[in-house]
Amino acid sequence: MHTTTEPVLRVSGLSARIGDLSLVRDVGFEVHRGRTLAVVGESGSGKSITAAAVMGILPPQIKAEGSVFFDGTELLGEPARRRRARGGAEIGYVFQEPMSALHPLLRIGTQMIRPLRHHLGLSRGEARDRALELLEQVGLGGERKVLDAYVHELSGGMRQRVMIAMAISCGPRLLLADEPTTALDPTVQQQILRLLVRLREELDLALVLISHDLGLVARYSDEVLVMYDGRVVEQGLTAQIIEQPAQPYTRALIDAAPRLGRRVDRLPTIDRAVLDQTRAMAGGV
């Protein structure tokens, strides 16, 4: 935010709609190399639609407008083939649910090696060596066993580490992690977030952490973008926002955030009046 270099990603005036129904309206933010942006908001607030628009993986019935400027190139309107290739290599994506993102019937090694051969043109042997290096980088140190395993044989934390290894495998400049720890227990959640931040530093990436849990991601991010009902309601430096949120909605998210180490089994409830006020302020009905 306060750097002089060009951001890796600059999203501006992004809107997404399905027919007449607006899902995301006028979203804008920037992310720089070596920085982490947390995108937070309740379920349905438009976080995943925003991420999908950046990745170019919106379902065809959802139309996006505005600008997604990545590393000097406008991505919105780019041919689908080009965007898909970019999505696999230049922008790494960590899905919420590794179980559904990884193929159940293919060994992990097969799934890791394919994109390395396709995007980087490595031979089978080179790709296998690179896959082992990547597993090492995500804390599955030299585990040849992981390469030969199927996804159901791995723990939740290991699956997410494999997803992260795949997301960084082709040297992306931007990593988008959409609720990367939702299905994990609190200790593993912290380990995965620490791993993402370590990789951001080591690889000099820009990192976007998407989460409904402001309390969880606040300590791992430099900046926060708060979404509600498809719109941005507040954004700025994390420390400032936690200290002095401008919007009652953000205050409610902070107050409702679980304290570290305490597990919550359901999303916090936010006062109806605060939601109505936030919707009115954001220009909704």
Applying CB under 6 A, the residues found at the interface with ligand ATP are 18, 23, 41, 43-49, 59, 212
Nearer to ligand ATP (CB atom), residue 158 or residue 216: 216
Q: What is the DSSP letter of 116?
A: H
- The token duo for 46 is 């438009």
Minimal distance, residue 29 CB to ligand ATP, in Å: 15
Cβ neighbours, 10 Å, residue 194 = 13
Q: How many CA atoms lie within 13 A of 192 on its CB side?
A: 30
Nearer to ligand ATP (CB atom), residue 24 or residue 113: 24
Minimal distance, residue 12 CB to ligand ATP, in Å: 18
Nearer to ligand ATP (CB atom), residue 120 or residue 183: 183
Minimal distance, residue 149 CB to ligand ATP, in Å: 28
Minimal distance, residue 45 CB to ligand ATP, in Å: 4
Give the integer Cα–Cα distance in Å for 204 and 273. 42
Q: How wide is the angle at C-alpha 64 spanned by C-alphas 70 and 14, nearest 5°?
A: 60
Burial class (CB in 10 A: 0-12, 13-18, 19+), 140: buried
Q: Are 31 and 174 in contact (CB under 8 A)?
A: yes
Query: Would the CA dihedral through 89, 94, 100, 106 be positive or negative?
Result: positive
Nearer to ligand ATP (CB atom), residue 39 or residue 108: 39
Nearer to ligand ATP (CB atom), residue 25 or residue 130: 25
Minimal distance, residue 285 CB to ligand ATP, in Å: 14
